[in-house]
Copies of this chain bind each other. A is one copy, B any other.
């Protein structure tokens, strides 16, 4: 069981992949067992060889979050329950020339050919001062449609429409 710290991140679209030679990759799958409108959120997540079940309960300010490690067998047994509410992607974890870490996500399944990159910052002022490199596309940090939970229930047609804008 882990508590996850608040993250300060900015998220951008990418039109094309940069050179990712030597950048480590991990396969990520996450899916929601619960429906979007349910008050409790139960999520399965695979990151490489690690598997997790996490629960977000409550509403508003008193939301709790709990995550437990599960086995590959438990994950595979429960995964069918997430049909229609999944995000599958390859995550490339690299660093920008200035040293900032980025997570570049290459989506697969119905979300292909979506590409996004997230940069994590140590403070809000650092996030605001960030000047994105030329290969970064549109800033979608505040666009809720690009959050994992929204992407999980987005069909291929809706994605194409969204990316056209």
**A interface residues (Cβ-Cβ under 8 A, vs B):** 1, 33-35, 37-40, 42, 53, 55, 57, 64, 66, 68-70, 73-74, 77-78, 80-81
Please state if B78 and A57 are interface contacts (CB–CB under 8 Å).
Answer: no
Residues of B contacting A35 in the complex (Cβ-Cβ under 8 angstroms): 38-40
Residues of B contacting A40 in the complex (Cβ-Cβ under 8 angstroms): 33-35, 38, 42, 81
Residues of B contacting A38 in the complex (Cβ-Cβ under 8 angstroms): 34-35, 38-40
Interface centre among A33, A69, A70 (most CB of B within 10 A): A33
Apart from A33-B55, A34-B42, A66-B78, what are 12 other A-B pairs with CB-CB below 8 Å? A33-B42, A33-B57, A34-B38, A37-B39, A38-B39, A42-B55, A53-B74, A64-B81, A66-B81, A68-B74, A69-B74, A70-B70
Please state if A68 and B64 are interface contacts (CB–CB under 8 Å).
Answer: no
A-B residue pairs in contact (CB < 8 Å), sample of 30: A1-B77, A33-B40, A33-B42, A33-B55, A33-B57, A34-B34, A34-B38, A34-B39, A34-B40, A34-B42, A35-B38, A35-B39, A35-B40, A37-B39, A38-B39, A40-B42, A42-B42, A53-B74, A57-B81, A64-B81, A66-B77, A66-B78, A66-B80, A68-B73, A68-B74, A68-B77, A68-B78, A69-B74, A70-B70, A70-B74
